[in-house]
Amino acid sequence: MHRIPILDRVYDTILSIPVFKPANYSWCSWCRVPRVRGHPLAVLHHLTHAPYHEIEEQLLDQDLIEKIGSGTEANPFVIYRDSQSVNTTNLQHLRFVCVSDTHNNLDRIVIPNGDVFVHCGDAVNHYTCWRDLPRFNEFVGKLPHKHKLFVSGNHCVVLDPNRPDLSQQILENMTYIQDQLVDIEGVSIYGSPWRPRRGRIYPSEAFGYDAADIQADIWSKVPENIDILLTHSPPYSVRDYDPSHEERLGCPGLLHEVITRVKPRIHLFGHVHSDWGVSVYKSDENSTLEQSNTILPSHDILFANLSIKRSKRIFGEPVVIDYFY
């Protein structure tokens, strides 16, 4: 068969991007759930809830906890926009109070006061979403925080991805963020609800996107050098392990964009309830993920899986972050 040179070059270019390599995925023929294979992992320093499936060397980093904090109201994470500004006086700062995956249980959680309340999706359950989203909006409206931000999750099936303006009307007591950049008193925050689509058998599939196209269509649009990134999906290998399937459910394309190009100071997400907790990524320990990109040695990211609902009766606490800039 005669091959067209220009098409060969296009195909080779697509395969050169890690997330698009067919070898990275095997497919379940009956439900079309993408399984990632052979993609590089991020090296993390865990600050809370060390994942039980990881090796002993990756348990809680006590030195970093002493330096950064533990994310509680009494001992919040202290993060600086510029590492050169550590311990500098007269800096502005905002306190972020952050949750995700509350699933109609937000009223059971003690929510500390702060400047910005953040919810990274799945505030409700898909089967009663139409009824419970207005109730969620009413509850959030009574919180004392000056700013309230919301990124949708896969259970918000009544929200139309093509009409974010209508979603904002439903959630009028907060700022609904769908693929947009917002400025909160000088802090740049970008939010996106998408994640790799799991398959048609799943009823809670709001904002599911084709795994092969999500990096080019969604994640490549995230601006560079923002302060905070909000997503519902975790990046691949970052707080994304599901023990029931013994699989990592995060998105490789999201990981690639976040650590090599976007480089936020903080990345907040949820979705994978079992791998809740907070970790720090340090670029100088992840040379396998840098490829041809230049990353400064000071490029660190605070990753937080904010999932609150641990089981039917067990709930976690919000993550509290003091951000200085």
* Domains located in the chain, CATH noted: 40-324 (3.60.21.10)
pLDDT band of residue 58 (cuts 50, 70, 90) is low
Say if residue 246's pLDDT is above 90: no
Say if residue 290's pLDDT is above 60: no
125-141 mean pLDDT? 96
Q: What angle do CA 155, 97, 168 make, to 5 degrees?
A: 45
Say if residue 2's pLDDT is above 70: no
CA distances, 115 to each of 144, 213, 281, 311 (Å): 8, 36, 26, 29
Q: Regarding predicted confidence, which is higher, 110 or 89? A: 110
Q: What is the mean pLDDT of the chain?
A: 86
149-169 mean pLDDT? 96
Q: Is 246 exposed, middle or buried (0-12, 13-18, 19+ CB in 10 A)?
A: exposed
Are the C-beta atoms of 194 and 207 separated by less than 8 Å? yes
Are the C-beta atoms of 36 and 24 separated by less than 8 Å? yes
Say if residue 15's pLDDT is above 60: no
pLDDT band of residue 48 (cuts 50, 70, 90) is very high
Query: Among 154-168, 202-216, 228-242, where is mean pLDDT lowest?
Result: 202-216
**Amino acid occupying residue 11:** Y
Spell out the residues 6+ positions from residue 264 whose beta carbon is closer than 8 angstroms to its own.
Answer: 190, 225, 226, 227, 228, 229, 258, 301
pLDDT band of residue 278 (cuts 50, 70, 90) is very high
